[in-house]
Amino acid sequence: MNNIHWVDLGIVLISVLFTLGVGIYFSKRQGSSDNYLAGSKKIPSWAIGLSIFATLISSVTFLAYPSAAYKGNWILLVQGLMVPIVLVFLIWIIVPLFRKMIRLSTYEYFERRFGFLARIYSSLAFILTHFSKMGTVLYLISLALYSMTGIDVIWIIWVLGITIVLLTLLGGMEGVIWMDVIQGVLLIGGGLFCAGILLFRPEGGAMSVFTEAITTKKIGFGPYDFNFAQLTFWVMAINGVFYALQKYGTDQTIVQRYLTARNDKEAKKAAYIGVGLSVPVWALFMLIGSALYIFYNSGTAFLPEGINADQVFPHFIINELPVGVTGLVIAALVAAAISSLDSDMNCLAAIGVEDYYQRLKPKCTDKQRLNAGRILVVFSGLASIAVASLYAVWEGEGVLGVVFELYAIFSAGIVGIFLLGLFSKRANKQGLYIGLLVCVLFTAYAVLTSTSIEVGGSKRMILDLGSLNFPHHKYMLGVYSHLIVLIVGYVASLFFPKPQLESGLTVFDYRKQKTVISK
């Protein structure tokens, strides 16, 4: 598959160099820690919305959605379809809540509602989750680029990783957002071009492709069985509700963008733009996967023997697109990785400065905050490069996978904390801490009894309890952990005194404000 034309390779290299140029251009505006980590507060809502979209659509989505639809159907899209449904009811609360109650860190809200331990638990959960995600994304995109270009995976990891570090280090949040805008447009354009070829090149055109895809059940969201042990529509729908709450209500990469807007109205508009773009583009890449199946099974083109589903879309990009367009689509794939990883690096720096550095050094100057943020960007970037390199050496297996499973144990239940704080005046920190303890114990049991590792050439559960092993699909684990924190935390709170809350911490305060405004 590594027969990429020099013109296409040149386009990809130019796109990488352009990324560095954007970082250099915005570096002159990064004179304060607030500008560096939260932007200039002058960024228009449409740009912030495009940045949210580009952050949500990673290179894993670019590759995984077509692969999933090629192998099966559109069931993975169900999770994304739940996002706008949830946001319709909650965005009017979430945006003003964070813009009023926090300075920079999402997890400041958790401390103001439930105390210091809640802030540390939730911020560490974000750090560990995104640290593991960054290395995985960088490895997967590098592996895909290797299959298309033949360039060594390690070289790709380091060149791409250093480029993203330099963009984030120099350009700050403003550079990240404007680069995301460009990358988002490139991503949409690349997807539309691929879909156009797949729909209109086969004999009979788009209508025949859709008809065949429906007939072969390549477009659908089933199975619809109410079964939590398998990947079903209901598993993805329930998981999608909590995914939406986690992403838009507790994830620093999204909440930090609310803070860059001029006012609450602009921030809400940006959130809706981000979702409004994400759902159709998720569907677009699902359509690409279904159309790929028809394309290669109808005699329009043929695949090499032994190729697996994950390699089909990269093979199509290299062999079926015109010279020049191939380079643009690969550049879009690279852009998807950059737009996801640069956001993670900047947000990890913001969390590090706000939740840890400033607490350890409360009298620090703004310049010291700025320097600390830059150091943390470099550290998180190099750490993700190291993780991706280890994946490449171990070919995605080994101790690293077990380490990331353990991370999951100690980062569970964040949405439960958020919902408990937002919807209950009675919940207190003592009850929450009991809920978190039960959640960690349950998650440890579920992860260890449902995760297998290779030992002596055979796969075994980390902890095998036989019939007592966690019986449900792994996507339900996150749902259960949030519900445990919510339910156990509330019930346990009833055994302790009712907390004295400052105004603005619960949904009831915003409901009152809305009633007063409407009158």
CATH number at residue 13: 1.20.1730.10
Compute the average pLDDT of residues 467-482.
89
Q: Is residue 307 pLDDT above 60, yes or no?
A: yes
38 part of a folded domain: no
**End position of a domain, from candidates 376, 396, 416:** 396
- For residue 471, which amino acid is it? P
Structural domain count, the chain: 2
Same domain, 268 and 177: yes
Q: What is the pLDDT of residue 398?
A: 43
What's the domain range around 50? Answer: 6-22+44-396
DSSP code at position 461? E
289 part of a folded domain: yes
- Enclosing H/E stretch for 507: helix 507-518
In three-state secondary structure terms, 471 is coil
Residue 38: partners with Cβ closer than 8 Å, 6 or more residues away: 104, 173, 256, 259, 260, 350
Q: Is residue 511 pLDDT above 70, yes or no?
A: no
Token look-up 């290179």 returns 59
Q: How far is CA 171 from CA 47, 61, 235, 335, in A?
A: 16, 25, 40, 16
Q: What is the pLDDT of residue 29?
A: 78
Same domain, 77 and 199: yes
Same domain, 138 and 246: yes
Same domain, 495 and 467: yes
CA distance 12 to 15: 5
CA distance 148 to 235: 35
**End position of a domain, from candidates 371, 396, 421:** 396
Sign of the CA dihedral running 20, 38, 257, 239? positive
The 10s digit of each residue's pLDDT in 418-434 is 999 999 999 999 999 99
11 part of a folded domain: yes
Give the predicted TM-score (pTM) of the model. 0.88
DSSP code at position 472? S
What are the counts of helices (DSSP H) followed by strands (DSSP E) for the chain? Answer: 21, 2
The 10s digit of each residue's pLDDT in 211-239 is 999 999 999 998 999 999 998 999 999 98
Opening angle at CA 265, ends 262 and 271, nearest 5: 95
Q: For 261-270, 322-331, 342-351, 397-406, which range has the lowest pLDDT when averaged over its residues?
A: 397-406
On average, the pLDDT of the chain sits at 87
Same domain, 56 and 120: yes
81 part of a folded domain: yes
Residue 87: partners with Cβ closer than 8 Å, 6 or more residues away: 244, 248, 271, 272, 275
Q: Is residue 518 pLDDT above 60, yes or no?
A: no
In three-state secondary structure terms, 458 is strand
Compute the average pLDDT of residues 269-297.
93
CA distance 328 to 322: 10
CA distance 5 to 317: 12
Token look-up 């999770």 returns 79
Same domain, 391 and 439: no
Q: 327 is written with which tokens? A: 């380079």
**End position of a domain, from candidates 396, 429, 449:** 396
Same domain, 461 and 386: no
316 part of a folded domain: yes
Same domain, 424 and 314: no
Q: Of 152, 291, 132, 283, whose CA–CA distance to 221 is shortest?
A: 283
Number of Cβ within a 10 Å radius of residue 152? 12
36 part of a folded domain: no
The 10s digit of each residue's pLDDT in 10-51 is 998 998 888 888 888 888 877 888 888 887 778 899 999 999
27 part of a folded domain: no
In three-state secondary structure terms, 216 is coil
Token look-up 């008809």 returns 211
Q: What is the pLDDT of residue 88?
A: 81
Rg (CA), the chain: 23
Opening angle at CA 96, ends 274 and 259, nearest 5: 60
Q: What is the pLDDT of residue 66?
A: 92
Q: Of 411, 436, 450, whose CA–CA distance to 486 is shortest?
A: 436
Q: What is the pLDDT of residue 133?
A: 79
Q: Residue 220 phi/psi, 5° resolution? A: 170, 170
Q: What is the pLDDT of residue 409?
A: 54
Same domain, 70 and 182: yes
Of residues 57 and 76, more confidently modeled: 76
Q: Residue 469 phi/psi, 5° resolution? A: -60, 155
Q: What is the DSSP string of 270-338?
A: HHHHHHHHHHHHHHHHHHHHHHHHHHHHTTSS-PPTT--HHHHHHHHHHHHSPTTHHHHHHHHHHHHHH
Same domain, 438 and 344: no
Q: What is the pLDDT of residue 512?
A: 57
Same domain, 426 and 303: no
CA distance 483 to 262: 35
On the question of a cis peptide bond just before residue 223, with omega within 30 degrees of 0, the verdict is yes
217 part of a folded domain: yes
Quick one: how far is CA 315 from the chain centroid? Answer: 25
Same domain, 111 and 225: yes
- For residue 115, which amino acid is it? G
Opening angle at CA 488, ends 484 and 494, nearest 5: 160
